[in-house]
Structure 1
């Protein structure tokens, strides 16, 4: 049996969804005729020739395992920014993280122009508390330059024993000199869902989609409904800002929690037979109360599935700034003791049949945050999927979209997007996009 895990995330250390596919002794899609092609064998011979030349003549004796690993990873990373090789340790770390607990600093990262770029710091983690911001470029770790390291090598250097410090040298737009930020490593326990009552409104924050997310959402809704009488509850704010993504099944379940019927998302692979459609089951956990979803430039992948489903079905009004724009699915294919490969195998589409790849979800109501004096606009702008080298092209759009603001004030009273959503639910603000009109339904294509 080959166990597969399909990834839905923006960065390197993001979550996955487990699906199981039973197989015999053959690998599908690799027919003898194709495998025996003359061009294929010639290219494989080229690889063998180069490998042997390095083994025989390189100035120092090379690590043969490291050579093979680098070659495999180079082959995968040449495809797109989200395909890569994971050795056994990296694969184990990824599996731990999807369970919602892992060791490290608490940041989601990707590789940009040879530097480690922070997609988002995770709430209430050492990195977030130390002042690491989305969009920061990490140029050195404990004084050692990261240029030339693979993303996984950089991530490994950032991990270490709990309570040990590391100094991140960060380059921020608008600042001439890099900034040193000292972060103390800790066990990162991700509580993916947090909630509170804002007077007569239920506020639910989802930081990422792990195995516990749907249960956390159910508990949050139940607690809010217990704390606020049904006739007093104005509705819910679901905060997906700076949520980098995670498990596909959890994104589907979270969407289903607010829907009674209809398609939630479809995934389409290279062949038509690989198309999968996921639909909602009867039962709205929120009792059909009004819903506003908050997104920004750090909302990616699984977050965009939820936003797109609720927007297309006119179930929620989307407020904030345009999302990241990652519209592809990665499958993790284990390789026994050799780790696993992360391979882009499908694109996903919202219920209306729209791909958000390199485009993102456009909010129904755009609301930008007021920035504090010490921050410049370009310090809190994410470039999005379209800025990643080698990203998949979206042939269904006229032009790719740049990134958007990803700043969230630490004090809720300064949070313009949240306060606007609360005012909408309370009737203190009026906008044609709220409540969403139910005069049309998405038609999958």
Structure 2
């Protein structure tokens, strides 16, 4: 150490400069070595490739981690999970008198409506808000009344979700409806949408066949959510009425053309529309196999010992072997028909009665027409007519019925049974004999 105030030591300064120079030389050599080694590394292609790949993977990992950890904004992601046509349900309706053109309804009513049942799924994290529906009517035609049911002055205005203007404009046309319907994020929900005319006859069975395409506006999106096409009959139930109550084959042919045009458009169809098509096709189809008479026998001592029938699309012939002669004004023969596989029952009544409203009191066979079996109201007041006939052979005890069938009676096979009933009071009868329930006659339809 140099004492305070002592003059500087020139030898010490020289030593310090030598030390600094030596350190700088070592540092420079180290840097040169690093540069040299790095250059050598990059001269090796394999080493250079690994360095580039490692750098790229490191950057990619940092970017992925940032993207995963960075908070995402909540957004809806709405989609249609399913579309079907729901079973009919009741909606409110107002009835108006078309003759008086009254602006106020005279009665409130509930009618059946068939709606589109839409299942919506929100795959996002934010609620999806539906603000409107657009309904494009691709097909709309009104069926003719093949039941010959007539009509009246009453029209109905029903509370459909989407009301179509009447008279129906040229197709296609579009009807918009505003709404607010929310589907929570990460959830599935269902909504229904019914479509029908703003006014329609209430008294007549004149359904519209409609194909409508549905799309939904949501979340201020410029693109609507496509739901799909539905095909329905409006009012619900009147298509069944037309199919099951048809009396005129030419009318059925016209309606069938309307139904076939509807089926040219791909759509989710209601059960009613499918039923109408199948029923009309069965009415218009020709049977390939000839009709054959089929019989069922029981003991000779039975009140009914034999039952035979022959069944075509237009006629049913039934013969019944009776032990006892039917009593005038007292005995009722009831032939019951149950279509195979259907929850329906029909009947044919036959009774020899004295005319009540004629000066000619000669006994006549009454009944002979087919009707739905709706209870014990036995009132065959009119004589067999319109192609129907009833004959009883006194010597053989066989009652023969020739029954004209309505065009809607298209069942491939029917079970037939027979009851003999005795009058106990005015229009009241009690069963006194019947064919065994476990051995009904089965009859196949033929040409």
TM-score (norm 1): 0.23
More helix by share: 1
TM-score (norm 2): 0.23
More strand by share: 2
Task: Please tell me whether Structure 1 or Structure 2 has the larger radius of gyration of its CA atoms.
Answer: 2
Higher relative contact order (CA 8 A, sep 6+): 1
